[in-house]
Amino acid sequence: MLAAHFDTFREVRIENGRIDLLGVPKIEELDVALAFEVKRDGFDLERALKQSADYVGARVLAGPHKGKRIAACFLYPARKHQHGNYADRYHEGMFQLIAQWRVGRAYAHNGGLWLAIGYETIWDSRGWHETVATRMLLSNRQVGGTRREFNRVRLDIKPILPRPVFTRRV
């Protein structure tokens, strides 16, 4: 299903392990490498998401795309989110949180394959969702995000000092 839009490579070595599948988009506008973590039925979702997050940002060590960094990792197979389906809110919440680290899901839907990060579909078997894909894969934000406004010292806030203690002279 990926062959029309991706060059794919199985079992590629990266800095911190080996990914099941490396996908490189065939369009020049998206010069990224994507990892796919393929699991069997009954896998532990929490462990798989952590493993996928570890791959994001790692450098490819071998092959024609040596040196590229993994821009995102997709877990396959994963279920499609359906609004109003509250039976699986726990897993949906995990996919929403892990989206900050550019980990998404790959799932079959309507006879095709879909790739999504959080609730945002970036690609399906018909092609790229260009605006969303660009925002999710090429943005300059760091993986995991930063909160710099909370990390710098504000000069307009004075420290609270203890009240002076007055002693009586005798």
Quick check: 84 and 34 in contact, CB under 8 A? Answer: no
Return the half-sphere exposure (C-beta side, CA atoms, 13 A cut-off) of residue 74.
Answer: 29
Question: What is the total residue count of the chain?
Answer: 170
Can you give the pLDDT at residue 145? 47
- Rounded CA separation 84/87 (Å): 9
Using CA atoms in the order 20, 146, 138, 71, what is the torsion angle rounded to 10 degrees? -10
10 Å Cβ neighbour count for 113?
17
The pLDDT tens digits for 5-46 are: 999 999 999 998 999 999 999 988 888 999 999 998 888 888
pTM, two decimals, is 0.74
The pLDDT tens digits for 92-126 are: 788 888 888 899 999 888 888 999 888 888 888 88
